[in-house]
Amino acid sequence: MAVVPGGLLGARTLIQASYFLTAVLFITGLKRMSSPLSARSGIVWAGAGMLVATLVTLAYPGMSNYPLIGAAIVLGGVLAWWSGKRVAMTDMPQMIALYNGMGGGAAASIAAVELYRGGGGSQVGTALAVAGGLIGAVSFSGSAIAFGKLQGLIRRSIRFRGQQFVSVLLLAGALLAGALEVLHGGAAGYVTGLLGLALLLGLAMTLPIGGADMPVVISLYNALTGLAVGFEGFALHNAAMIIAGTVVGSAGTLLTQLMARAMNRSLGNVLFSGFGEAPGASTGPLSGSLKPIEAADVGVMLAFAHKVIVVPGYGMAVAQAQHKIWELCQLLIERGVMVRFAIHPVAGRMPGHMNVLLAEAGVPYDLIGDLEQINAEFDTADVALIIGANDVVNPVARTEKSSPIYGMPILNADRAKNVIVIKRGQGAGFSGIENALFYLDNTRMLYGDAQKVGAELIQAVKALG
């Protein structure tokens, strides 16, 4: 029986204890991120866990290549700090997609290194590395396409006859290459085929999906990246990777389910229906007309209202109008108006997008309600002020069975006494579907950039004394 030196045994024990601390920090951070009040500290807790895991891994017995590792850490850290400081809040969804793809690419790269040099030491280890490599490569290329769509680099969805059959063939080919690698470990051709087909599969899965479904797609690839990292952790017997991958994978899976449920769609429908693939989709001609209104008249309406519910959307994010809108709401609160903010789970371009914007502006958390909390209050609201939101307030989701969004839970803004829609133009929403709310008798359209309109409304309210 081999004898393990006491010093080495003690070092390994300390490393495993540190990984346990990492798990505690990760889970604590994730728990605190569930509330906007504690989310900032949650990021710090999770970051501390990652720092501990990184330092401990660098101290692992037998670790080498420190100059290369150090250079990679410095380069990655500088790029992350620079991009994080420069990115606009409206571009945060595509940044998340990009960073998530980097995680999947890292997992695939780890798998490639292990497999090219002979696998994971056993068929089980090789199988885990294969699974991590396949999933990571899919997440990498799929997230890259999601980034391109959100950034506007890819302006249309690409669909053709038999596309789903092609995706199935790519998946089958990748699985076959992976199985052959497990059976005949160390064959470079099988590894190359596995990773190449997986990258193509990610492209084939994501290119047909419309922009309206990108929040769900980002959540899905987030879950896949976590799963890939977890598999690689098992293959390498690295507890930190297992913990991080499991936490990210489970959180991403739950978030994906939440997003799909908020749209009343199954994951299969998101991946294969092509909903929202191009602008211009419509449920048919809508009755009524768009009725414009001036900012001065809206200011009077808001100032003398009893209850105002604000519904923010992507248009507010684009205009960076959250500060002006909150300044307006503070004026209304000072006049005795009850103000609430209504957030739909898929408002914006990613989960929690609107919550982050409102928190940035300093809106108290107790004024913000999600769909289930606030929907009943629209019946007693004097004004529903909609700022750049579209599909999440479209009443055809309740009434028109032929609509692609039929059955999707929406905010009941149409049930307010008056509806004011701040909108840059008369275009359809991100899904390309005309909004019947805009044509209702109680709806008025206030056209213009949300930040500029917000400033005009502030002046209109102040002018009333």
Which residues pair with residue 370 across a beta bridge? Answer: 343
Q: Note the pLDDT tens digit of each residue in 22-67.
A: 888 988 988 888 776 788 888 899 999 989 888 888 877 777 888 9
Instruction: Quote the pLDDT of residue 211.
Output: 64
The domain spans of the chain are: 13-59, 89-239+250-278, 295-462
Question: At 418, which amino acid appears?
Answer: N
* CA 107/CA 110 separation, integer angstroms: 5
Instruction: Quote the pLDDT of residue 350.
Output: 72
Percentage of residues of the chain with pLDDT beyond 70: 88
- Residue 365 contacts residue 336 (beta carbons within 8 Å): no
Q: DSSP code of 392?
A: G
Query: Is 391 a known active-site residue?
Result: yes
Q: Where are the beta strands (DSSP E) in 24-143?
A: none
Q: Note the pLDDT tens digit of each residue in 369-394.
A: 988 889 999 999 999 999 988 888 99
Lowest mean pLDDT among 20-24, 271-275, 461-465: 271-275
pLDDT, mean over the chain: 85
Instruction: Quote the pLDDT of residue 275.
Output: 45
- Residue 308 contacts residue 299 (beta carbons within 8 Å): no
DSSP assignments along 134-193, one per residue: HHHHHHHHHHHHHHHHHHTSS-S----TTHHHHHHHHHHHHHHHHHHHHHTTT-HHHHHH
Collapsing DSSP states into helix, strand and coil, what is residue 84? helix
Structure token digits, residue 149: 């769509």
Rounded to a whole number, what is the largest CA-CA distance in the chain?
A: 89
Q: Note the pLDDT tens digit of each residue in 345-359.
A: 888 777 778 888 888
Angle between helices 239-262 and 214-236 (to 10 degrees): 160
Q: Note the pLDDT tens digit of each residue in 170-223.
A: 999 999 999 999 888 767 889 999 999 999 999 998 888 876 677 788 888 999
Which residues pair with residue 387 across a beta bridge? Answer: 312, 422
Instruction: Quote the pLDDT of residue 226.
Output: 92
Angle between helices 214-236 and 123-151 (to 10 degrees): 150
Instruction: Quote the pLDDT of residue 279.
Output: 42
CA distances 168 to 15, 129, 235, 374, Å, are 42, 22, 27, 43
pLDDT greater at residue 153 or residue 277: 153
Count Cα atoms within 13 angstroms, Cβ side, for 286. 21
Put the strands of the sheet holding 443-447 in their side by side order. Answer: 368-370, 338-343, 307-312, 383-387, 418-423, 443-447
Instruction: Quote the pLDDT of residue 433.
Output: 74
Instruction: Quote the pLDDT of residue 80.
Output: 87
Instruction: Quote the pLDDT of residue 282.
Output: 46
Q: Note the pLDDT tens digit of each residue in 108-154.
A: 999 998 888 876 567 888 899 999 999 999 999 999 998 888 887 88
**Of 391, 414, 441, 449, catalytic:** 391
* CA 115/CA 192 separation, integer angstroms: 10
Instruction: Quote the pLDDT of residue 7.
Output: 52
Instruction: Quote the pLDDT of residue 284.
Output: 52
- Residue 307 contacts residue 326 (beta carbons within 8 Å): no
CA distances 431 to 212, 223, 266, 284, 424, Å, are 5, 24, 17, 15, 17
Q: DSSP code of 342?
A: E
Q: Note the pLDDT tens digit of each residue in 400-445.
A: 877 777 788 899 999 999 999 998 866 555 556 788 899 999 999 9
What CATH homologous superfamily does 295-462 map to? TPP-binding domain (3.40.50.1220)
